[in-house]
Amino acid sequence: MTPAPPGDGLDDLALYIHWPFCKSKCPYCDFNSHVREAVDQRRWRDALLADLDHAAVATGGRRLGSIFFGGGTPSLMAPDTVAALLARAARHWRFADDIEITLEANPSSVEAAAFGALGEAGVNRLSLGVQALDDDALRFLGRAHDAADALAAIELARRHFRRFSFDLIYARPGQSLAAWEAELARALALAGDHLSLYQLTIEPGTAFATSYARGAFALPDDELAAALYEATAAALAAAGLAAYEISNFARSGGESRHNLVYWRYGDYAGIGPGAHGRLTRAADRIATRQYRAPETWLAAVERQGHGRDESLDLAPEESRREALMMGLRLAEGVERRRFRARTGSELDAALDPARLPDLIEAGFIELDARGLRATPAGRQRLNAVLTALLAP
């Protein structure tokens, strides 16, 4: 049994800030990212500050456990914009003593040059989009950096931030189990307290979706994908990094506190283009969404003082499904008391009693007084487990 990671902070709020711009669009990426010739940093800073102020109207005064700058490529933000947003956030919310402030960065030399300034601005955790340690693979993935850039950026991150993590994408076309294991061993030698390891998936609307449909490349079949996934978990466990989530591995205490809020279905505010939020108000669970297109969001903020496109009350069964879908990604699973606090209903109400016994007997899930967990075998097949498990 994996012990629950620290920083439970059930009542802590998390804040997500989205910077939507990239230098180039990666072919696998379906995030809200856009390439623009020039970005008016000042205008964008003012707009993000306004959106931040608006988010504070409903949540101000709460304790803030984490802030996450995501994108896009937030390492392209002017460091003083980062500093200004953090200063403004500190006015609206009480920062937890050990507040985690993460920023996503690309390992190109230009961006790495700003790491020092970003650290001084208050960022204390860096998440580096390394993606591969192999130049051919990086080219295939459309990345602007090479393996040498990645190694240099990792060293800079180690120097300037208390904590850092990096991402790799595996199960790439033609990648053998042995090749991945070797790459993984090199990654582990470079790792801090956290790694994110994602299997390459083809998302609709991406450049890869088109080329994959045309047969430009093939992905590993179900069997190899499973073998790669299992080998990853085994290698990371041997190195002392537990699989606390499907694709995330950490030494004890190194877990991403911000992302844990998502998986534990806690409260988070989202600002910037396309940012989502989940907030608890009285007995209701509210889902918020900002305008997605950068220019639409910017115009909305300048017109009405905020970029909020939609705010709606989730139906009880919707929040139950979200809590399960997110929580079962974690090794710790879904705790009954947390489920009750977030959804207002008992865990069992979300489950299909007709299907539970088969799933338990097959060793895909465990249900006890503390809560519901997917076993490693169950997590590896979570989509199928969830469709079977959810109450009809």
Partner 1 sequence: MTDLAHIRNFAIIAHIDHGKSTLADRLIQFCGGLEAREMREQVLDSMDIERERGITIKAQTVRLAYTARNGESYELNLMDTPGHVDFAYEVSRSLAACEGSLLVVDASQGVEAQTLANVYQAIEANHEIVPVLNKIDLPAAEPQRVKQQIEEVIGLDASGAVEISAKTGLNIQEVLEALVHRLPPPRGDAAAPLKALLVDSWYDSYLGVVILVRVKDGVLKSGLKVRFMATGAAHPVERVGVFTPKGVPVPELGPGEIGFITAGIKTVADCRIGDTITEDRRPAAEALPGFKPLQPVVFCGLFPTDAADYDHLRDSLAKLRLNDASFEYEPETSAALGFGFRCGFLGLLHLEIIQERLEREFNLNLITTAPSVVYHIHLTNGEAMALHNPVDMPDPVKIDHIEEPWIKATVLVPDDYLGGVLALCEERRGVQLDLTYAGTRAMVVYRLPLNEVVFDFYDRLKSVSRGYASFDYQMDGYSEGDLVLMNILVNSEPVDALAIIVHRSQAERRGRALCERLKELIPRQLFLIAIQAAIGGRIIARETVKALRKDVLAKCYGGDITRKRKLLEKQKEGRKRMRQFGKVEIPQSAFLAALKMSDS
- Report if residue 381 touches partner 1, rule: CB under 8 A: yes
| Strand, coil or helix: 188 | helix
Residue 195, H or E segment = strand 194-199
How much is the CA Rg of the chain, to the nearest whole Å? 21
> Half-sphere exposure of residue 90, counting CA atoms within 13 Å on the CB side?
11
By CB under 8 A, name the one of 308, 329, 338, 373 that touches partner 1. Answer: 329
Residue 110, H or E segment = helix 109-112
For 216, residues 6+ apart whose C-beta sits below 8 A from its C-beta are none
Nearest to 48 by CA among 88, 7, 103: 88
Strand order in the sheet with 365-367: 334-335, 371-374, 365-367
By CB under 8 A, name the one of 276, 344, 366, 370 that touches partner 1. Answer: 276
By CB under 8 A, name the one of 218, 223, 303, 368 that touches partner 1. Answer: 223
Minimum Å gap between C-beta 61 and partner 1 is: 22
Minimum Å gap between C-beta 69 and partner 1 is: 13
Minimum Å gap between C-beta 16 and partner 1 is: 6
Q: Candidates 96-104, 112-120, 134-142, 376-384 — which segment interacts with partner 1 by CB under 8 A?
A: 376-384
122 near 102, Cβ under 8 Å? no
The structure tokens listed for 349 are 């109400």
- Report if residue 359 touches partner 1, rule: CB under 8 A: yes
By CB under 8 A, name the one of 39, 190, 199, 293 that touches partner 1. Answer: 199
Q: What is the distance between the alpha carbons of residues 217 and 174, in angstroms, rounded to a whole number?
A: 9
- Report if residue 322 touches partner 1, rule: CB under 8 A: yes
- Report if residue 274 touches partner 1, rule: CB under 8 A: yes
Kindly tell me which of 146 and 296 has the beta carbon lying closer to partner 1.
296
Give residues in contact with partner 1 (CB under 8 A): 14, 16, 18, 31-32, 70, 198-201, 222-223, 225-226, 229, 246-247, 259, 261-262, 268, 270, 274-278, 287, 289, 318, 321-322, 325-326, 329, 358-359, 362, 364, 379-388, 390, 392
